Amino acid sequence: MGRDEDTSRTVTREEMREADRHAVEEYGIPGVVLMENAGRAVALEAIDMLEDALVPRVAILCGKGNNGGDGFVAARHLHNQGVTVDVYLFALTADVAFSHDPWTHLNTLIKIGFEIKEVTTVPDARGIFMEIDDADLIIDGLLGTGLEGEIREPYQTAVEDMNNSGVPVLSIDIPSGLDCNNGHVLGVAVRAARTVTFVLPKKGFMLAEGPGHVGEVVVADIGMPRDLVQGL
């Protein structure tokens, strides 16, 4: 399924979580492969959004979960295309080492020579936007579809600053802070120019505040088996 496919079907966080589990456990597709495919799709959308930038620069804000892992993959692909990429990790690097798939891709970035900038406090989050005021694009890989409670610091400050930066934001799978199932804003949520979501659009994109936060929605194929997707 790609950007020109029907987007009328939607899924909940529970349905998507179950599909991921089936893909890994029953079809034998490693999670790290699905993450690679997702991150590459993000990078392709970023390149499209950067077409008018003469010397493109991208800031990628990553949580320690799977959305962050997608962001690490996107960073590598953008770097390979000659884009200047700054990666901000909203955790300690050591914390990600306990999460297999994201760590695989973060470790690759480290070996390539990326400086991973750790963000653990509100002042750290504030400092990001003094460093990237000339960025052409921000990629939001902070929080994913599993978020159910109100967004906490330092994520809250980062989201508020993203929304106030004037820089276009590309969200990974879902804008951080948006409830996947009902479209409610969980305290604060990213207002994306574009959201690249995986497999199918999420139910909350169409409900409540969702339409005002997702921007253009692009559905990306990450290699899920066709019959599994059709069964959602």
The single-letter DSSP state of residue 150 is: P
Output the pLDDT for position 97: 84
- pTM of the predicted protein model: 0.95
Output the pLDDT for position 178: 98
The answer to whether residue 125 scores a pLDDT higher than 90 is yes
The pLDDT confidence band at residue 232, using thresholds 50, 70 and 90, is: confident
What percentage of the chain reaches a pLDDT higher than 90? 89
Q: What is the mean pLDDT of the chain?
A: 94
Residue at token pair 């306990």: 98
3-state helix, strand, coil in the chain (%, to 5): 40, 15, 40
Q: Break the chain into its structural domains and give their ranges.
A: 13-230
Output the pLDDT for position 2: 41
Q: Which CATH number fits domain 13-230: 3.40.190.10, 3.40.309.10, 3.30.428.10, 3.40.50.10260?
A: 3.40.50.10260
Q: 38: closest CA among 182, 144, 152?
A: 144
Cα–Cα distance measured from residue 78 to residue 71, given in angstroms and rounded to the nearest whole number: 10
The answer to whether residue 5 scores a pLDDT higher than 50 is no
List pLDDT tens digits, range 96-115: 987 789 999 999 999 999 99
Output the pLDDT for position 219: 97
The pLDDT confidence band at residue 7, using thresholds 50, 70 and 90, is: low
Write the CA distances from 125 to 53, 71, 155, 232, integer angstroms.
25, 17, 8, 38
Output the pLDDT for position 1: 33
Mean of pLDDT values over 127-141: 93
